[in-house]
Structure formats: structure tokens, C-alpha cells
Amino acid sequence: MTVILRSLETAVPDTVLVQSQVRDAFAAQPGLTRLGQRLVGAAFDSSGIETRYTVIEELTLDRAFDAPVFFDREEMLVLSPSTKTRNEVYAEEGAKLFIEAGRKALEAATGIEASDVTHVVTVSCTGFFAPGPDYKVVRALDLNPSVQRYHLGFMGCYAALPALRSAKAFCEADPDAVVLVISAELCSLHVRSSNNPDTIVGSSLFADGAAAAIVSARDIPLEGPALSLDHFETVLTPVGEESMAWNIGDEGFEMVLGTYVPHIIDDHIVGALEPLLARDASLQGLDYSDIEHWAIHPGGRSILDKVEAKLGLTEQQLVPARETLRDYGNMSSATVMFVLRNILDTPATDGNNRICSMAFGPGLTVETALLTRIGARSSSDAAAAGTTAAGVTVGDAPVAEDLKPVLAEAGA
């Protein structure tokens, strides 16, 4: 049985943060020491980020708001609302992002209707409310009220991969299942001014966004690119529990993101990949760079630098991750799905179409996934190549004739 991610769509809020402008605002905050100011400049300038998105309209910097809560434009002052205040914004604005991303994924999944959805898996670590986002999605998208709902909460940046692994398991248990997976994070709600290096790094990186996917093993012709979900693995590194954490404070959630994290990844990334790559005999003995695509969670530029150097990857193989970081910042769990979307948006090549994905989070936890890109980039691309998306059935999913060798390598 081949389980297919049939659609993958993203959504971001309307307010754009220009990294250089945000840097200047944070560097001008009262209470910063000279060292704190230097750290702000260094963190923002070395982040690899140009723009980010936020649900907090006050952070636009373009105009002042009456009775500001998060940012006083007239005083250029970053405010410190309570965790309750921040979470109330999460409940309202987060629900909108979950619903928008979910609706887009449904609309993009050819042959799938809202009434077909059997499971909903929502993911988030930046807020809480009940009935939660899974409930809001079922109501707003007019899904069957008997849909099975699951919420993966407070796991951190790696949580989208366990969500996709769960979706694969549901489909393997029930070949008729259709799973809607949605990750939405409002990281900007917890941004604050501080002299603490971890807080400064978090302020320079984190942003808001959502991504949603439809996963199923149903025998429905594909239109456009898709992903077969081949294998998933989880590894806990032997060190790092204190280096990356996510705690709840009185004035928002508090990120612990130690500067030693890239070194931990550098030391343990090869071991973290071993159980995943061992699942596929066709990959044994190959260089890491022989796997065409790498969907790496861009936790920060230094993390991507370490991954690229340690695994001997080419600059081109890290482009999807670096472009995602540049254009959107770190949206916690949703970010790796943006990277996968970037890969799907890239015209197919004559390569092997395999994708190795990695995401890192508290623990230090390393989640990995092996996927295969299937289907043409678009119907016009498929026509130009002389193939159709429904050309041949491999497993239970119709795919193009020229992809049969690729899926054979994937064990499909």
C-alpha cells in the first residue's frame, strides 16, 4: 500500500515583518545593555531572514494603534502582555490560520471532498484552547462531526513529521481513510525584549504560519506533484535536553535555544539518519548528496550550515530550506512543510526524486522522514512530457509511467 500526501498548502498572516526594521526596533529598546544591543544586531543580521509574517498588526511599524498591547509605535516600545493576553490572541487568530490552510489543502486535493475526511490531526506549540483547533476545523470546513480528531500540542519544531507519520498509520490501518493534517504556529506572540541571548535569538527567528496536507491511500488519479510517505524515524540525541526547550512564563512562552544546538546536530546528525536510511536497501552505500532533495527544518542559518557541511550536501540541495528561512523565518512545526512545498513547486528533474526530511526540537529530538516525489509538476508539464498523472497504478496510487523505477526504489 502506498500512502500519498496528495496536496500541501500554506497560509500566512497579512502583516509582513522586514528583518532590518524589526532589528532596529529591538536594538532601540530601553533596558538593553551595550552587550544586549550588540547581540540583537548580530542575531538579526546573521539570521538569513529577510521577511517574516505575524498576526500582530501592531508590529507593522507603519502606523500607530490606539491602546497598543504588543508594540507602542509612538514610543517604539516592545510591550510585555501577560500569557493570558497572548493566548487569547492565539485562540482567535490561530483558529483562522488552521481553517485557511485546511480549506486550501482540501480545495487542492483532486477527487477528495470535505465529506471524505475521516481524520483530522492538528499541530501547534504556541497556544492552547478547548474546544481546540481540531474542533474549529471540523465546524468551519463542514466536515463530518464523527471525524476522528487528534491534536499534537507543545512538541515543538519537529511535530509536523510525527503528524504525517500518524496520518500514514491511519491510512495503513484503513485504506479508505482520508487524513487532514494541519500545523499552525503563532510564534510571534511570544516575542519580547531582553538581554538574554536565547530570547534575542528567538526574537530574530520566529514567525507565524500554517501548512496543511491531505493524506490518503485511496485509488484516485493524481493531478500535479505529490509525495509518497515512505518511512519515518525518531531519534533522541544523547545530549541536548537543556539546550533546547519551550517553557511557559508569566509573560508568554519562553524559548531556550542554546548556542550549542548546532554543535549537537553536527555531532549526532549522522547517527540520527542511520535508522531511517537503513529502511531502504537502495540507499545503502550512497553518499548523502545522492539523495536528490533535502527538506531540512531551518531552525536557523547556523543549523543549515552544519547540516550541509556534515553531510556533504550541495548548496542547491539546501536551497528550499534557505529560501523558506529567508522568506518566512522559523514558524516552528509548520516550517518543514513549507520546505516540502518549495520542493514540490520546483520543476521535476531527471534525478531520483527521493526526499530526506529532518526536523529538530526539544530534547534534543530529531525526527526524520523519507519520501518520494511523484506526479508531474503540473498538468501542462505532464502533457509536455507525454505522460498523464493517472498513467500507471503503483501500489494503490495512480502515477506516471516514468516514475515506476523511482517508486520501486522506494519500496512502493
Q: Cα dihedral sign for 385, 386, 390, 395?
A: negative
Rounded to two decimals, the pTM is 0.90
Share of the chain above pLDDT 70, in %: 90
| Helix axis angle, 301-311 to 319-328, nearest 10° | 180
Residue 17, SS3 per DSSP: strand
What's the gap between Cα 376 and its chain centre? Answer: 23
Sequence letter at residue 180: L
Q: What is the DSSP letter of 92?
A: I
Comparing 384 with 96, which gets the higher pLDDT?
Answer: 96
Share of the chain above pLDDT 90, in %: 75
What's the gap between Cα 25 and its chain centre? Answer: 27
Q: Is pLDDT above 60 for 405?
A: no
Residue 267 pLDDT: 87
CB 63 within 8 A of CB 49: no
CATH number of 226-410: 3.40.47.10
* Residue in 144, 143, 135, 150 with CA at minimum distance from that of residue 94: 135
Q: N- to C-terminal Cα distance for the chain?
A: 7
CB 83 within 8 A of CB 249: yes
Residue 165, SS3 per DSSP: helix
Cell (9 digits) for 317: 540541495
* Whole-number Å distance between alpha carbons of 127 and 123: 11
* Whole-number Å distance between alpha carbons of 156 and 332: 6
CB 365 within 8 A of CB 241: no
How many residues does the structure list for the chain? 412
CB 160 within 8 A of CB 333: yes
Q: Is pLDDT above 70 for 379?
A: no
Edge-first strand listing for the sheet containing 148-153: 148-153, 119-124, 178-186, 208-216, 4-11, 226-236, 365-374, 354-361, 293-296
Residue 349 pLDDT: 76
Residue-wise DSSP of 68-114: -SSEETTTTEE----HHHHHHHIIIIIHHHHHHHHHHHHHHSTT--G
Q: Which residues are catalytic?
A: 157
The answer to which of 44-48, 80-84, 136-140, 399-403 has the lowest mean pLDDT is: 399-403
**Residue showing cell 528561512:** 325
Residue 407 pLDDT: 33
CB 257 within 8 A of CB 360: no
Sequence letter at residue 267: D
Q: Is pLDDT above 60 for 297?
A: yes
* Whole-number Å distance between alpha carbons of 61 and 22: 8
* Whole-number Å distance between alpha carbons of 235 and 307: 16
Residue 376 pLDDT: 64
Residue 274 pLDDT: 95
How does pLDDT run across 84-106, given as a tens digit for each residue?
Answer: 999 999 999 999 999 999 999 99
Q: Is pLDDT above 70 for 390?
A: no
Segment holding 161, helix H or strand E: helix 160-173
Comparing 264 with 70, which gets the higher pLDDT?
Answer: 70
Residue 4 pLDDT: 97
Please name the residues in contact with 408: beta carbons below 8 A apart, sequence gap of 6 or more.
none
Q: Is pLDDT above 70 for 400?
A: no
- pLDDT tier at 347, thresholds 50, 70, 90: confident
How does pLDDT run across 215-253, given as a tens digit for each residue?
Answer: 999 999 998 899 999 999 999 988 877 777 788 999 999
* Whole-number Å distance between alpha carbons of 406 and 397: 14
The answer to which of 16-20, 167-171, 378-382 has the lowest mean pLDDT is: 378-382
How does pLDDT run across 140-181, given as a tens digit for each residue?
Answer: 999 999 999 999 999 999 999 999 999 999 999 999 999 999
* Whole-number Å distance between alpha carbons of 170 and 172: 6
Residues pairing with 255 in the sheet: 246
How does pLDDT run across 273-291, given as a tens digit for each residue?
Answer: 999 999 999 999 999 999 9
Once rounded to an integer, what is the mean pLDDT over residues 336-350? 92
* Whole-number Å distance between alpha carbons of 21 and 348: 37
Sequence letter at residue 206: F
